[in-house]
Amino acid sequence: MNVLVPLPFVLPLLGAALAMASRRRKAWLRILAPLVGAGVVAAAVALLAAVARDGIIAVQIGGWAAPFGITLVVDRLSALLLVVSATVLLAIMLHAVAEGAGGLERRSEPGVFHPAYLALTAGVSLVFLAGDLFNLFVAFEVMLASSYVLMTLTPTAERVRAGMTYTVVSLTSSIMFLTALGLTYAAAGTVNLADLSARVPELPAATRTALGLLFLVVFGIKGAIAPMHLWLPDSYPVALTKVTAVFAALLTKAAVYALIRVETLVFPREHGSWVMLVLAAATMLLGTLGALTHDDIHRVFSFTLVGHIGYMLFGLALFNVAGLTGAILYLVHHIVVQATLFLVSDLMQAHTGETSLRRLGGLARLSAFIAVLFFIPAMSVSGVPPSSGFVAKLALFQAGLGSGRPMAYAVTGVAVVASLLTLMAMARIWTLGFWRPRPEDAGEPPATESYTRGGVRAMQAVTAFMVVGGLLIAVLAGPLASWSHRAAADLVDRSAYRHAVLDGRSP
């Protein structure tokens, strides 16, 4: 187990180094990167099975006992998210390989895509494994460095500007993260999360409040929580679609996970947080309203992403098992569905060359299969029953109404309104992009005969796999809800986590 736990981080990091050394051999990279991704999925599944059998697993790197060394921890929440994120990362990698092999790249991309992508995979995995604040910080920095490279692939002036905005905002939040980390160490004498869970409650109330708010701002920026979200719709839509898909699926969710971990473990509350409830409501409304005001489908999806971060924050803000269960279900659902929507948009671009709703049209007649691939995740993100989005939202609504707090009732109402606004945004894309005839001034769609049998069909297969994955979340709602409930109970009762890390219990 000492070898298995760090494997989801170490394997893609070694793969990135090997891919960088052989970056000029494109055919080799198209084999190496998916193999590494498949290895990460296998390691994540093995960890999930181990956690189901043995409970929380903690490994002390280098043999240094906690809290002095580097601790990697896998519990029910991190194991679940490792499996989901590794699977989505592999699917997007296969989509990218199919795009390149099918001749769909509009420009010759440098050979750094695969190593940067694998480095990003390593960063995402480390976020879920880190047992201390410093290595959590390192994980986000690995993600930042690799994501900037990915964002500026095939650079244009617009991409460079967006990349600079993204980098400046991310570095600002990183500086704040490092500051919060230093202040926490100065106040508590440790950065180990399990150790902090015992020491922080002994600090003065004002110190706890200040540190908690600082971490909320740090992860609020990284997770695009309103009003700290404005950078995301200006950055994500500019990147290559396959890059935007992984950003939308995982970068903000990694920040939400970190916020859940830190708030429940280090700054627990007996009652909900009114500050988070207000931020959750604002995020839902601002994001979904923004989605209705834009014509570019990537911007619509990006604002929808912002709005639905509010649902996860809502579950955390309730600070009870029911709310956290809903937040975990929503994390799993949204990672899959948000990535699927961007992969579908890549197929739409392959057939039309457009992302603007002003020039899109007739897609249902052009490809009924792509219409189905869009319709299913669009209804899921809107929360239409019996989709996975409906299951996750129902869990959150039940938690909000069952909390007995008037403010939670109000935010539940906002969540219902945000769902209706999301449905309107998706219906707008469906009506303008798929049902109406293609506008006369839109020009002719690009010729697809030369690559339909190769690249596009492979891309469609990967996207269909993601659509099926979203459907499976709804089909397996019972077992998934049971696992999420137990993971939420572990977050509320911190004793098992502390015991696994500090008492040295490890299989």
What DSSP designation does 192 have?
Answer: B
Q: 336 and 312 in contact (C-beta within 8 Å)?
A: no
Structure tokens at 249: 């699926």
* Cα–Cα dist 149/115, whole Å: 10
State which amino acid sits at residue 78. Answer: S
Q: Which pLDDT score, from 0 to 100, does residue 429 have? A: 95
Q: How high is the pLDDT of residue 1?
A: 64
Q: Whole-angstrom Cα distance, residue 285 to residue 347?
A: 29
SS3 content of the chain, % helix, strand, coil (to 5): 75, 5, 20
Residue pair 187/195 in contact (Cβ under 8 Å)? The answer is no
Residues 6+ apart with CB under 8 A from 454: 101, 102, 103
Domain ranges (residues) in the chain? 1-268+493-507, 269-475
pLDDT tens-digit readout, 193-231: 999 999 999 999 999 999 999 999 999 999 999 999 989
Report the alpha-carbon distance of residue 492 to residue 269 in Å, rounded: 9
Cα–Cα distance for residue pair 467/435, rounded to 1 Å: 21
pLDDT confidence of residue 102: 45
Contacts of 306 (CB under 8 A, 6+ apart): 224, 226, 229, 232, 233, 283, 286, 287, 290
> Which tokens go with 189?
């004498």
Residue 191, SS3?
coil
What whole-number distance in Å separates Cα of residue 356 and Cα of residue 368? Answer: 20
- What's the CA gap between 93 and 113, in Å, rounded? 10
For residue 507, what are its two tokens?
A: 């299989």
CA-CA distance, 32 to 26, in Å (whole number)? 10
* Whole-prediction pTM: 0.94
C-alpha distances out from residue 290 to 246, 293, 305, 307, 434, Å: 21, 5, 11, 9, 21
**DSSP alpha helix (H) spans, 73-156:** 76-101, 113-129, 133-151
Amino acid in position 453: R
Quick one: angle between helices 274-291 and 205-222, nearest 10? 10
CA 24 to chain centre: 30
Structure tokens at 106: 């509009």
Contact 482, 133 (CB under 8 A): no
All residue ranges of the chain with pLDDT < 70 are: 1, 101-110, 440-454, 504-507
Query: What distance in Å separates the CA atoms of residue 214 and residue 186, rounded to the nearest whole number?
Result: 15
Note the pLDDT of residue 163: 85
Burial class (CB in 10 A: 0-12, 13-18, 19+), 331: buried
**Can you read off the two tokens belonging to residue 165?**
């905005």
- Name the DSSP letter for residue 447: P
CB 91: neighbour CB atoms within 10 A? 25
Name beta bridge partners: 130.
72
Contact 128, 81 (CB under 8 A): yes
> DSSP string covering 223-287, please?
TT-TTS-THHHHHGGGS-HHHHHHIIIIIHHHHHHHHHHHHHHTS--SS--HHHHHHHHHHHHHH
- Asked if residues 283 and 360 have their Cβ atoms less than 8 Å apart, the reply is no
The distance between the two most distant Cα atoms of the chain, rounded to a whole number of Å, is 70
Calculate the alpha carbon distances from 93 to 29, 114, 154, 351 in Å: 11, 8, 17, 20
